[in-house]
Amino acid sequence: MSDETLTPNLSSPPPSPSRLDWLRRRFLKLPIWAWIVIVLLVIGAGTSSGSSSDDDPVVIPEGTEAAAATDVPTTDAPRTTEGPTTTTTPPLSAGDQRDLEVIMSFTVFQEGDARMSVIEEIEDNFILERVDVFTVDVGNEPGATNLRIEGSSGYGTAEYQIEQVWELVDYLGELWASDGIFRNKEGVLKTGLLVVVDGRQYLADYDLMVRAAERNITQSDWLTLAPRS
C-alpha cells in the first residue's frame, strides 16, 4: 500500500440519484395529515365515477316499450261496466188488480167532496132524515168489509124504517152494478152494505147487493135475507 493521499476527484461530480428515486423518497416523507387527504381524495374520486355512470341516460330502442308493455302479465281482474240495476215487478193478476181498484175507491167514502155530495143527496131526497156515519169498514175476514151508513129516519114506526132502508138500497145499488166501483168478479174483496137506522141494523153481503143492483130480488126477499138486529 503506497503512501499516496486519496483525494476526491472534483473534476467529475458524483452521480445524482434518478428522478424516480427522488419522488419515492419525498412521497415516503409526507406527514400523516397528507396521507389522510390523499385517501379521502381517492375515495371521493371513486364515488363520483360510480355515480356518474349511474346517472347516464338509458337509451331504450324504439319499439321496445310497446313490446314490454304487452309482455307484462296482468294480475287484475277484468273490469266490467255495469249499467243501472232495474227491478222488474211482475204484473198483477186480474183479481189483484180489481181488488186494488176497489180499495182505492174506498177513499171516496172516507173523506172529500164526493162523500159529502152523497150524504146531502140522501138527506135531500128524504131517504134518511139525517146521516151520522158514512164510511167503509175494511176487515180481514170474508164479509167483514162493508159500506156502513148510520142515521135516523125521523119516524119511529118499523114499517117506515123498512121503506127507508129499501129506498137506500135501491139508491146505492148502482155501486154494485156491472160497472159499479164495488163490483168485483175477479178478485176476493167483496164489499157488502151495513145500514143502521134508528138503532136497528140491516146487513147485506156482496151477493145480496149484486142481486139488488140487478133488480133480481124483491123487497121482502131482501129484508128476509138481510139479517136484522
Question: Which amino acid makes up residue 126?
Answer: F
Of residues 214, 129, 206, the one with CA closest to residue 225: 206
Please tell me the predicted confidence (pLDDT) of residue 174.
94
Strand duo 146-152 + 200-204: pairing: unpaired
- CA–CA separation, 19 and 5 (whole Å): 34
Are the beta carbons of 188 and 99 closer than 8 angstroms?
yes
Burial readout 91-111 (b: 16 or more C-beta within 10 A, e: otherwise) = eeeeeeebbeebeeebebbee
Please tell me the predicted confidence (pLDDT) of residue 158.
79
- CA–CA separation, 197 and 228 (whole Å): 11
Please tell me the predicted confidence (pLDDT) of residue 81.
59
Give backbone dihedrals phi and psi of 200, rounded to 5 degrees, phi first. -95, 135
- In the chain, % helix, strand, coil (3-state, to 5) comes to 45, 10, 45
Are the beta carbons of 159 and 200 closer than 8 angstroms?
no
Tens-of-pLDDT digits for all 229 residues of the chain?
A: 444 444 444 444 445 555 555 555 655 555 665 556 565 665 665 655 555 445 555 555 555 454 445 555 555 555 655 666 777 777 889 888 988 999 888 888 777 788 899 999 999 988 999 999 999 999 888 778 999 999 998 876 778 888 899 999 999 999 999 999 999 998 999 999 999 998 899 999 999 999 999 999 999 999 999 877 7
- CA–CA separation, 181 and 102 (whole Å): 6
Please tell me the predicted confidence (pLDDT) of residue 121.
93
Of residues 208, 177, 171, 211, the one with CA closest to residue 193: 208
Where do we find the cell 139488488? 212
